């Protein structure tokens, strides 16, 4: 998808990132824990300061956010949120394809976790070749290992 850009965030992008999370993911947070605005802002500020965030731009429009952590043997996707009106257009798939391709170059695994109640996301990642490797009460842990890069 040539009209897709992943741009590193600036401090001024923090509120946009928070609003994207709230719009794209808030219903799941609400179902599992209840949405506490103050707590969600606190968590967002902590994560925005410690993770590698990018704004997802599609055709020059900011449409989502991506947050990752890079380690020597794996890349962890912490957040991939696309605004609801831009979902279903291949944007999330294009972002994940870039991440998978980057990881393949270094022979790294790609890891993530999905809320169990978010069946749509689980199916999305399974279609991209991710396998379940564990779970908690609330999340399924998934991985795409270097052995599945074909």
Quick: pLDDT tens for 92-143.
999 999 999 989 888 899 999 999 999 999 999 999 999 999 999 999 999 9
Give the DSSP letter string of the chain.
Answer: -TTEEEEE--GGGHHHHHHHHHHHHHHHHHHHT---HHHHHHHHHHHHHHSEEEEEEETTEEEEEEEEEE-SSEEEEEEEEE-GGGTTSSHHHHHHHHHHHHHHHHT-EEEEEEETT-HHHHHHHHHTT-EEEEE-SSEEEEEE-GGG--
Q: What residue ranges define each of the domains in the chain, with the CATH number in brackets?
A: 4-148 (3.40.630.30)
pLDDT digits (tens, 9 = 90+) for 11-61: 999 999 999 999 999 999 999 999 999 999 999 999 999 999 999 999 999
């Amino acid at each position: 998808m040539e009209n897709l850009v992943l741009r590193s965030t600036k401090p001024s992008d923090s509120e946009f990132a928070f609003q994207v999370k709230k719009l794209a993911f808030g219903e799941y947070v609400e179902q599992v824990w209840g949405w506490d605005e103050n707590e969600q802002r606190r968590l967002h500020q902590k994560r925005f300061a410690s993770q590698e965030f990018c704004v997802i731009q599609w055709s020059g429009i900011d449409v989502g956010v991506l947050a990752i952590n890079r380690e020597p043997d794996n890349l962890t996707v912490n957040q991939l949120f696309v605004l609801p009106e831009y979902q279903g257009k291949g944007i999330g798939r294009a972002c994940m394809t870039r991440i998978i391709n980057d990881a393949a170059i270094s022979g790294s695994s790609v890891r993530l976790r999905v809320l169990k109640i978010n069946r749509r996301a689980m199916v999305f990642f399974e279609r991209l070749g991710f396998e379940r490797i564990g779970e908690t009460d609330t999340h399924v842990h998934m991985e795409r290992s270097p052995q599945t890069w074909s």
